[in-house]
Structure 1
Amino acid sequence: MSFSIPHLLMFLAVVVLLFGTKKLRSLGEDVGSAIKGFKKELSGDVESKHDPKLDNK
């Protein structure tokens, strides 16, 4: 059993009808920001969360 383009389009249409475009858009944005944050953590570009002001106490 293989899936073709018409099968995938029908599946996409059913998903859009069930969830709506606004919910799918927000889900896509959430997943995108999560992936971007994950890649940023892996590359080491994130600044240290250590606050030097707290060391003076």
Structure 2
Amino acid sequence: MRISMTAIVVVVIFAIVLFGAKRLPDVARSLGQSLRILRSEAKAMKTDGEPAAPPAAAPVSEGSPAKTIQSAPGASSTARPVTEAEGEGRR
């Protein structure tokens, strides 16, 4: 399917009339951001089913097993060990 030059000119003129010349850069910028977000979410959905690399082993004290704080779904950081201050505040 080929788009002729006249069709492109008609669409551009229609966009200028509909949005105004001052708002077109803002509309284009927000459209670009939306496309970036859509691409990153699609990529995250593809990699969602793959097994993640196991987290690094935290040092374990002799008396109790190591506790970790899980990261939120979709977060870029991984789980981290609970510090002593956090562990005592939850009792």
TM range (shorter): 0.5 to 0.7
Higher normalized helix content (fraction of residues): 1
Q: How does 1:1-57 map to 2 (within 5 A)?
A: 4-44=4-44, 47=76, 57=90
Percent identity, please.
Answer: 20
* Counterpart contact for 1:16–1:24, Cα < 8 Å: yes
Deviations 1:5-56 (A, max 9, x none): 23431442243134222211111111110110111112128626xxx88x85
SS of 1:22 mapped into structure 2: coil
TM-score between the two structures when normalised by the length of structure 1: 0.52
Give the root-mean-square deviation of aligned CA atoms. 3.3
Q: Which has more radius of gyration?
A: 2
* 2:21 aligned partner, one-letter code: T
Unaligned runs of 5+ in 1: none
Higher normalized strand content (fraction of residues): 2
TM-score between the two structures when normalised by the length of structure 2: 0.38
